[in-house]
Copies of this chain bind each other. A is one copy, B any other.
């Protein structure tokens, strides 16, 4: 089973793939768009993309790509993000002047970097920074990435858990040509558009309330160039094949410009916002 992800070997996305699939071959791609394209063209069976992070919020580009793509969501994965300071073996923390990583990871570790007087340098991704340090043999620089990235490139972990906020989870979606059959403990993601008018969202949600479908996430996005139209992303508990979900979606269709079912999939055990003790 080949699963495309955005980034280099050792990326958090690769960690999510290996955590979720008993046996899978992670296949790196340079962008989220290329992950979608690799699945659409059949170069890989599945793709994995990040969709929201506790500290940074939603990954808007993933939503925009989901809206365009014929692919379906067939799983969700929630991964705790633990950032490490990684350097070439033998490098001491006092040798370090610059720290390379993806801008989001640099931001999440800003307090640590400032405390140690390290200069933050933006790089293409977290694991790619570790690879670069190794290839160039830098001894006055470090990278921020996962433990797995250090292992992948034979590098030393100088500090672990250097993020400012330990409650740092990323939720990933797994994409394929079809979604997942019902398991009895499922979620569904949809996108829909309604007119910008009083009561429009209330009417759109009526079917979900009547059918006792539990919502887990909602987010509105303005449609660029269409001033009074919005697209909503909605996650809820249940599978699209369940009669109550079907009835709720039929109700939504009567009052929406469009409804797109992005996919039904088994719920991840860990959920964003859950206390750490319960994971």
Which residues of A does B touch, CB under 8 Å? 54-60, 103-104, 106-107, 120-123, 167, 196-203, 205-206, 208-227, 229-230, 232, 271-276, 278
- Assess whether B196 is in contact with A227, with CB atoms less than 8 Å apart: no
CA distance A206 to B198 in the complex (A): 11
Given A202-B208, A202-B209, CB of A224 within 8 Å of CB of B167: yes
- Assess whether A223 is in contact with B273, with CB atoms less than 8 Å apart: yes
CA distance A218 to B209 in the complex (A): 18
CA distance A200 to B208 in the complex (A): 10
Chain B: minimal CB distance from A107 (Å): 6
Q: Count copies of this chain in the complex.
A: 2
Chain B: minimal CB distance from A235 (Å): 9
Given A208-B198, A213-B198, CB of A271 within 8 Å of CB of B227: yes
Chain B: minimal CB distance from A263 (Å): 19
Nearest 7 CB-CB pairs, A to B? A222-B273, A103-B103, A122-B122, A199-B209, A202-B209, A198-B212, A57-B60
- Assess whether B208 is in contact with A205, with CB atoms less than 8 Å apart: no
Given A209-B199, A275-B227, CB of A217 within 8 Å of CB of B217: no
- Assess whether A220 is in contact with B217, with CB atoms less than 8 Å apart: yes
Collect the chain B residues with CB atoms within 8 Å of residue A223's CB.
273
- Assess whether A225 is in contact with B275, with CB atoms less than 8 Å apart: yes
CA distance A60 to B278 in the complex (A): 24
Collect the chain B residues with CB atoms within 8 Å of residue A120's CB.
122-123
CA distance A236 to B95 in the complex (A): 53
CA distance A23 to B59 in the complex (A): 37
Chain B: minimal CB distance from A213 (Å): 6
CA distance A276 to B205 in the complex (A): 31
